[in-house]
Amino acid sequence: MAALRSLPVCLCLALTAPSGGFVPSWEVLPPAPAVTKPASPPPTESVAHYIQALLDTTAAGSLRAADESRGLQAGAAVRAFFGADYAPAWGTVPDSLNTSAALALLARAAEHGLSADDYRLNQLRALRDSVGRTRHPALAQQARLEVYLSDAVLAFLRDLRRGRLRPYTASAGEKAAGPAGQPAPVLRAALAGHNVPAALQASQPANREYRQLQQALAQWLAAPVPPDSAARRRAQYEQVALNLERWRWDDIPPEAEYILINLPAYELEVIARDSVQRRHRVVVGKPETPTPTLSSRLSHFTLAPDWHVPQSIAIKEILPRLKKDPGYLYRNNYRLTDAQGRGRNPWHINWANVTEENFNYTVRQSACCDNALGNIVFRFANPYSVYLHDTPARALFKSAGRALSHGCIRLQNPMLLAAYLLRREGRPVQLPTEDECAEMPRPRDVRLNRPLPLYVRYATCTAENGRLRFMADVYHRDESLRQALFGLRP
């Protein structure tokens, strides 16, 4: 609750229960379904009888329609949770330890970039209070508390695991299919051990980046709020929340060691033993040619690499120069070949007749001091033909905003990363100097015995030493996600 008190007024509504009884409206919770009862209730009538009625899908015609009519957010998980016997799970006392722990869990939703309002916290508190006001509460009310409290917690655990927006991607489907992606057994185990917070711990992404960001957000929310900063604080909160959502969609599998490139941070980190071992500045793609996010494994690096110029660059940038001066190729150590792979003399081509549509040539730049890939390129499989490489334009690393490339990633001090990769395998570090690279007659590949996982991600807010770090949205991706989570700003 201390965390929630620090939120702007616009972020959190009053958390006290209504003074009256629980109001069974569509805006709050749907009314309990009618249950046909004989004149004298049979001895078998129980809370389970009413839970079964609440979860009955026969009259609705479909599971989706039944969930909508009952106002259930996690209907399938709720049915799996109660199983075939519909036995109560939360105990007969409304203020039991499990019930109180569950409501406290939902009250902390803001610490995870989610809203307690989405899980009807106030309404559940009111329902709990209404059940607790009588010594022998009605079975139907007890059943409603069982079902809707279960629904709220299961939806919360699901959203923590997969994300509130629940994108229907292959990765999300695989994630949801595993044991950790099924909230019902996770909650059952937590209730059996009277340890509801364990369900939260089991449902969150385990990767370091998510954990650090979530913990920093909780600390940030607990800090005092200056009275004149509500609007700015709200915007910052939403920026943290949407990045937590991103990590839920596309988290990093548990790895002992990996490389993480965060595009908005213009930074590469080598993570090992849950801490940063190396940090390098990078140059990434311009907004019009953005670097893609991806997951791969760094398998080898090439010293004194050739650069096979992408056709888009050859047509857009080199062809106009050739029309003015065919000698441009020789001065920059480029070689021209035709569609059959034969070397061509640029002075023997009538460039005035060559257009973007009929440019059937390949341009390759051999190793040299001005090679666009520099002295070394790191290779990893990906469908985008993206590399991580050195560059002769090293002054660019001094710029604050480094979205300047065609899409590949340029790396500051790349030989230091190569030396690290060799040392981690216990291999001798014998890397050539820049002059030696330029004099190499041909490129040389160095294969890694232990390929290193590599992740390229897009996060405009990270955490470092428990503090939030906000970055510019270089590719303008935040606003659409923010609106999907929070709606239009007033």
pLDDT-based confidence at residue 93 (cuts at 50, 70, 90):
low
Is the pLDDT score of 414 beyond 60?
yes
Helices (H), 163-226: 170-177, 183-192, 196-203, 208-222
* Mean pLDDT, residues 224-232 taken together: 85
Residue that wins the pLDDT comparison between 75 and 39: 75
pLDDT, one tens digit per residue, over 139-185 is 888 999 999 999 999 999 999 999 998 754 434 444 443 444 589 99
Instruction: Kindly tell me if the per-residue pLDDT of 454 is higher than 90.
Output: yes
Q: What is the pLDDT of residue 59?
A: 76
Q: Once rounded to an integer, what is the mean pLDDT over residues 55-62?
A: 82
Nearest CA-CA partner of 456 in 290, 323, 312, 336? 290
User: Which band of pLDDT confidence, cut at 50, 70 and 90, is reported for residue 369?
Assistant: low
> Binning pLDDT at 50, 70 and 90, where does residue 42 land?
very low
Inform me whether the pLDDT recorded for 73 exceeds 70: yes
Sequence-distant (6+) residues with CB within 8 A of 195 are: none
Comparing 21 with 328, the larger pLDDT belongs to 328
CB atoms within 10 A of CB 14: 8
Residue 25 has what pLDDT?
37
Of the ranges 147-161, 314-328, 440-454, which one carries the lowest mean pLDDT score?
Answer: 314-328
CA dist., res. 164 & res. 417, Å (int): 37
Question: With pLDDT > 70 as the criterion, what percentage of the chain qualifies?
Answer: 85
Q: Are 344 and 319 in contact (CB under 8 A)?
A: no
Q: Which residue has the higher pLDDT, 351 or 92?
A: 351
The pLDDT of residue 210: 96
Q: Is residue 385 over pLDDT 70?
A: yes
Per the CB < 8 A criterion, the answer to whether 250 and 273 are in contact is no
Q: Is the dihedral of CA 229, 235, 238, 242 positive or negative?
A: negative
Whether 280 is catalytic is: no
Q: What local confidence, expressed as pLDDT, does residue 405 receive?
A: 94
Per-residue pLDDT band for 262 (boundaries 50, 70, 90) equals: very high
User: Residue 469: pLDDT above 90?
Assistant: yes
Structure tokens at 369: 């001091």
Q: 230 or 247: which carries more pLDDT confidence?
A: 247
Measure the CA–CA gap between 15 and 23, rounded to whole angstroms.
16
pLDDT at residue 5, as a whole number: 38
Which tokens belong to 316?
């857009």
Question: Of 12, 112, 389, 437, which residue is the catalytic one?
Answer: 389
Would you place residue 97 in the very low, low, confident or very high pLDDT band (cuts 50, 70, 90)?
confident
How many degrees, rounded to 5, is the angle at CA 319 between CA 315 and CA 324? Answer: 165
Q: How much is the pLDDT for 28?
A: 58
Say which of 408, 437, 461, 476 is annotated catalytic. 408
Report the top-level CATH class of 206-306+366-490: mainly beta
Q: What is the pLDDT of residue 325?
A: 87
pLDDT > 90 in the chain, percent? 53
**Mean pLDDT across the chain, nearest whole number?**
84
Q: What residue segments make up the domains of the chain, in order of their start?
A: 2-204, 206-306+366-490, 311-365
408 in catalytic set: yes
443-446-452 Cα angle (round to 5): 135
pLDDT value for 327:
86
Distance CA 344, CA 116 (A): 68
| 282: pLDDT strictly greater than 90 | yes
Please enumerate in sequence order all residues whose Cβ is within 8 A of that of 130, keeping only pairs 6 or more positions apart, or say none: 21, 22, 137, 141
Q: What is the pLDDT of residue 264?
A: 98
For residue 240, pLDDT beyond 90: yes
* CA triple 144-145-147, angle to 5 deg: 65
Q: What is the mean pLDDT of residues 409-428?
A: 95
Q: Give me 135's structure tokens.
A: 């010594």
Cβ atoms < 10 Å from Cβ of 69: 15
Of residues 199 and 178, the one with the higher pLDDT is 199
Average pLDDT on 228-246 reads: 94
Give me the sign of the Cα torsion angle 348, 352, 358, 359: positive
Q: Which range in 210-214, 326-330, 344-348 is most confidently predicted, on average pLDDT?
A: 210-214
* pLDDT bracket for residue 395 (50, 70, 90): very high
Maximum C-alpha span of the chain: 103
CA separation for the pair 221, 137 (Å, rounded): 38
pLDDT > 80? residue 429:
yes
| Statement: residue 2 has pLDDT above 50 | no
